[in-house]
Structure 1
Amino acid sequence: MYLAKVYVTLKLTVNDPQGLTVLATLRNLGFTTAADVRVGKYLEVHIDSPDRSLAESQVHEMCRELLSNPVIEEYRFDLEETKPATETLRS
């Protein structure tokens, strides 16, 4: 069992109006050291796979097909081995 922590962000070449709004608000609140803000998504996906390479492949496929828009977004993920859900519930 694996836990994929997926980070999806707009490509640097894509304008991020939400990030600009957050940056402006931070500065208005007095956080003048804030230099740039990019807004994205964070997802956790539990993968029931005995094999790490298969889990990685499945997460890549999930990101390409659903979790990100490859035209305007990029993604990265961390993959952690975890206990099976039934073991976690018993703990």
Structure 2
Amino acid sequence: MHVRVLVRLKPGVLDPQGRAVHHALEGLGFSGIADVRVGRLIELDLADGTDHATIRQMCEQLLANTVIESYTIEAPAAGGAD
């Protein structure tokens, strides 16, 4: 089963990479950009039937730093989404 985990910095946490992208876009002449936040996408191919709790545990223990990041799990309908 294919699962996608989107990890983002929590609101209020400084995003230096987002600021750099914002500055670069303005430097290229793009206007009207209020803010840029950069996250990461992690794609996992797991054994069929891997339960949602196990995927959450992977996120909590390794894939996301839950102090400063939040995550969203995109899994087949049976696994639900976080």
Q: TM-score, normalised by structure 2?
A: 0.85
Percent identity of equivalent pairs: 39
Q: Which amino acid in structure 2 is aligned with residue 13 of structure 1?
A: G
How do 1:1-91 and structure 2 match up within 5 A? 2-50=1-49, 54=51, 56-80=52-76
Question: Post-superposition shift, 1:34?
Answer: 2.0
RMSD between superposed Cα atoms in Å: 1.4
Kindly indicate which of the two structures has a greater share of residues assigned to strand. 1
Question: Post-superposition shift, 1:23?
Answer: 0.3
Question: Post-superposition shift, 1:58?
Answer: 1.2
Distance, in Å, in 1 between the alignment partners of 2:25 and 2:36 is 10
Kindly indicate which of the two structures has a greater share of residues assigned to helix. 1
In structure 2, list runs of 5 or more residues that go unmatched.
78-82
In structure 1, list runs of 5 or more residues that go unmatched.
82-91
| Greater C-alpha Rg | 1
